[in-house]
Amino acid sequence: MLLTVDLARLRVRRGEKLLDAGCGEGRHCFGALERGAHVVGLDLDHASLRAAVGGLRNRGEELGQLGGMIRGNTFELPFADATFDKVICSEVMEHVHDFAGAARELARVTKPGGLAAITIPTTTSEHLYLRVGDDYFESPGGHIRIFRPRQLAKGLAKAGFATTGVGFAHALHTPYWVLRSIAGLPNADESALVRAYRLFLIRATASPAMTWLENALNYFCPKSVILYAEKRAPARAQRGADERSPSSKRAPRAA
């Protein structure tokens, strides 16, 4: 299964509640379900949800876990505060105008101390696509900004997330989107070269040798960057926890 987020690095554990905001057809949902989490995927695209919701629900029932999908947007998440242990938002922020508002909603539904993984395209790959054609940004639903990771990290910090690590993914997909941009996105699927490279990618996902190659190439030409972050506990609650911890208690003075 082709995942952008490293679920092991996100520390997805059995029994936890995980939200995938902007889940598409649910690849991260299925991956988290297999690790024992109770999973909810959310997306605006009805066609993607319809394609995946039945399979996710059925697999969840087989495992004795929640596997659900709902239609909604990241700016108005239909969940109570501090609902989820883990949150994923993959390749969404580059599509929305108010990414800071989306980050605040993600932080709102994450438990204090919970972890999040937010992914965006790399600056290098985005500029590369822009140089070979405008369709990548001008097509309906296209990207409206080229992010720098520092810009996203600052937005996450204002929302209450502290960035704890960075990862990179999908180097083999960078040439694929270059080819699609050259062919023109509206008609890219008609290109024999695009179709051939897509077949290569499908086969590469099942090849350990290709996985090793992509992991090496991720240091040079990744398509995506992943920010791993932790929801900060409120300062007052954190002070109380520190005061209650055994290490905070002074040893009694000798008589």
Q: pLDDT of the chain along its 255 residues, tens only?
A: 689 999 999 999 999 999 999 999 999 999 999 999 999 999 999 999 999 999 999 999 999 999 999 999 999 999 999 999 999 999 999 988 899 999 999 999 999 999 999 999 999 999 888 888 777 676 666 788 888 899 999 999 999 999 999 999 999 999 999 999 888 888 899 999 999 999 999 999 889 999 999 999 999 999 999 999 999 987 654 454 445 545 444 443 433
Residue-by-residue DSSP string for 208-236: HHHHHHHHHHTTTS-SEEEEEEEEPPPHH
CA distance 16 to 32: 10
| Residue 145 structure tokens | 């900004």
CA distance 222 to 14: 30
CB 111 within 8 A of CB 85: yes
Residue entry with tokens 């290709």: 210
pLDDT at residue number 237: 45
pLDDT at residue number 248: 44
pLDDT at residue number 147: 86
DSSP SS3 for 72:
coil
pLDDT at residue number 196: 97
The Cα-based distances of 91 to 60, 65, 147, 195, 205 in angstroms read 25, 26, 11, 23, 19
Kindly report the pTM of this predicted structure. 0.88
